[in-house]
Structure 1
Amino acid sequence: MGARPGDVVEAFLHHLAVERGSAANTLAAYRSDLARYLDHLRARDLDDLAAVRESDVAAFVPALRSPPLNLAASSAARALAAVRGLHRFAVRDDLVPVDVARDVVPPALPARLPRALSVDQVEQLLAGCIGDGPGALRDRALLELLYSTGARISEAVGTDLDDLDTNARTVLLRGKGGKQRVVPVGRPALTAVDAYLVRARPALATRGRGSPALLLNARGGRLSRQSAWHVLRGAAEASGLTAEVSPHTLRHCFATHLLAGGADVRVVQELLGHASVSTTQVYTHVTVDTLREVYATSHPRALR
């Protein structure tokens, strides 16, 4: 029968879920990308993964970038990463003899630095959450937590009540691959969370079935990642910062403002949950840009 591509994809996704502990969002992205790869192989009459050549894999990237898909380079690169992972898995499990995807080059990505708001802009954004109702108090607690801890949105909504230690002023976050880390929570965030816990969460909880989640939706269940992004977007619109905000904005601000304040990059790495310090070092470029602006406007030689 050979190594049927569809069967190998399912085995690979099971491996990611069970052995690697990949997050649901990651699995969904891999499944979507690999479904496109299966379509690509079918279009080439390839029903055995062992028959796939490097040229077949290489042709997948331009196919993604062309009509009707017209994917961005970053999306095509992500899809290729999923395909390369699939072929590595197939070789590891002796389903195919050679990793034909190993040397396929991903599309070049434009150099992009994380977009960070200034401290004043963050204050403006947080002020966009107004009102004393349960939803408004929850939204303020969410945004304060995101900025105070550098959590990903998925980590914030995945936090349970028991993960928050108000005495130690810390919260347990569950990151990519199931990795956990404990990070400090600042006083403004604790104040916002306390207001939510006392004046909002009990009312929200009565509408649900006893969810352990820290952040509840209007039905008493766990707040979703999409709803949390909607909260952030709404606060941005209310404060006039719509064009400046993305789902990772407050995480970027957390890292950039720490480094600008003199924090060691390796400490910031731990707080962000980055596996490699090189991932964190992209934020140092942002702070260097800030220093360059200050130099250009302040140094007597720079003014000439």
Structure 2
Amino acid sequence: MEWQSFKKGFKSFLKLEKSLSENSVQAYVRDVEKLVQFLEMKTTPVSLLKAKPQDLRDFIKWITELGMLATTQARIISGIKAFYKYLILEDLLEADPSALLETPKTRRKLPEVLSVHEINLLLDGLDLSKPENTRNKAMLEILYGSGLRVSELVNLKLSDLYLDLEFLKIKGKGNKERLVPVGSSALKYLDIYLENIRKHLDIKKGHEDFIFLNKRGTKLSRVMIFMIIKDLAKAVGISKTISPHTFRHSFATHLIEGGADLRAIQEMLGHESITTTEIYTHLDRDFLKQTITQFHPRS
């Protein structure tokens, strides 16, 4: 019964955040159900929440011995990893037992990237007479202008803004902090949102420091960002499967295509283990700001 309580939320996660088709969603669900059956068949049955890395390795060994193709194994492992990622994102689990599962090598599909024209279509396709679209404009400008992850965007706080320096303080994976330049276009719409929209919201206790809020005065969810982007893409006629990460990937791709320094891009994306104190010795702020100003399409 434990699996049944997770199934609906997991399906929504696959559709919205993984952008999977209905057929793929059903395949992932069946794959997790295979794991459930395997865990229940063990001499001492194990629940999904209490499964250890060795239990998952035993499951992979079992399906390998059944003669499943590498591509099928890869999909099953992908489904299991997605399921445990969902549990962690929903605070139902602290440690991911699937983290070290090795996937059989198959050809990787490159992530979608939007052209500068498509980015402009999205960013210019919002009706700013609606308050929520002023907020959405600021959010998407920051996603594309600074290359943030969706979790970093929804957790961005007023206390993270250094607008006089044109920088954001971002807490990324592993709670590692980095300073990221924010471009002129993003600064412009962020200021409009803060001054004209956010100030008039009835902000709920505990959400006072979060920048991007819903109409109820509480922090936006990651799922809401996905839905905003999907609806906007449909409205402006972009048929590509896109997500918040598409903006991050496009940010990096467009900077690289423009000739930006790869070290600066890695630093801004948070791919290196740096803290706020190390950033001053690793690459100075002026260099990062110059990279955005010189190479970013909307600066």
Q: TM-score, normalised by structure 1?
A: 0.63
Q: Give the match's secondary structure for 1:257.
A: helix
Name which of 149, 153, 157 aligns with 2:154.
Answer: 157
Q: Distance in 2 between matches of 1:214 and 1:51?
A: 42
- 2:278 counterpart residue number: none
Contact 2:170 2:179 in 1 (8 A): yes
Residue 232, structure 1, aligned to residue 229, structure 2 = yes
- 1:197 counterpart residue number: 194
1:35 to 1:169, Cα distance in 2 relative to 1, 3 A? farther
- 1:176 counterpart residue number: 173
- 1:41 counterpart residue number: 39
Contact 1:76 1:107 in 2 (8 A): no
- 1:59 counterpart residue number: 62
Q: Give the match's secondary structure for 1:128.
A: coil
Contact 1:150 1:254 in 2 (8 A): yes
- 1:112 counterpart residue number: 109
Q: Give the match's secondary structure for 1:172.
A: strand
1:147 to 1:58, Cα distance in 2 relative to 1, 3 A? same
Contact 2:35 2:59 in 1 (8 A): no
1:241 to 1:47, Cα distance in 2 relative to 1, 3 A? same
Q: Give the match's secondary structure for 1:243.
A: coil
1:171 to 1:259, Cα distance in 2 relative to 1, 3 A? same
Contact 2:113 2:246 in 1 (8 A): yes
- 2:135 counterpart residue number: 138
Deviation of the 1:247 alpha carbon: 2.9
1:98-151 Cα distance to aligned partner (Å, 9 max, x none): xxxx8x752334321121111111111101222233211100000000000100
Q: Give the match's secondary structure for 1:195.
A: helix
Task: Give the paired residue count.
Answer: 228
Q: Distance in 2 between matches of 1:172 and 1:105?
A: 34
Q: Give the match's secondary structure for 2:103.
A: coil
Deviation of the 1:245 alpha carbon: 1.7
Residue 249, structure 1, aligned to residue 246, structure 2 = yes
> What amino acid is the match of 2:265?
V
Question: Percent same amino acid at aligned positions?
Answer: 33
Q: Give the match's secondary structure for 1:193.
A: helix
> What amino acid is the match of 2:61?
A
Larger Rg: 1
> What amino acid is the match of 2:234?
E
Q: Distance in 1 between matches of 2:255 and 2:77?
A: 28
Q: Which runs of 5+ in 1 are unaligned?
A: 1-24, 26-31, 89-101, 277-304
1:139-178 Cα distance to aligned partner (Å, 9 max, x none): 0000000000100111101101111111111111111121
Q: Which runs of 5+ in 2 are unaligned?
A: 1-16, 18-28, 47-51, 86-94, 274-299
> What amino acid is the match of 1:120?
H
- 1:208 counterpart residue number: 204
Q: Distance in 1 between matches of 2:53 and 2:73?
A: 28
Deviation of the 1:208 alpha carbon: 2.7
1:62 to 1:244, Cα distance in 2 relative to 1, 3 A? farther
- 1:271 counterpart residue number: 268
Q: Give the match's secondary structure for 1:213.
A: coil
Q: TM-score, normalised by structure 2?
A: 0.64
Q: Give the match's secondary structure for 1:183.
A: strand
Residue 258, structure 1, aligned to residue 255, structure 2 = yes
> What amino acid is the match of 1:270?
E
Structure of greater relative contact order (alpha carbons < 8 Å, 6+ residues apart): 2
Residue 221, structure 1, aligned to residue 218, structure 2 = yes
- 2:81 counterpart residue number: 78
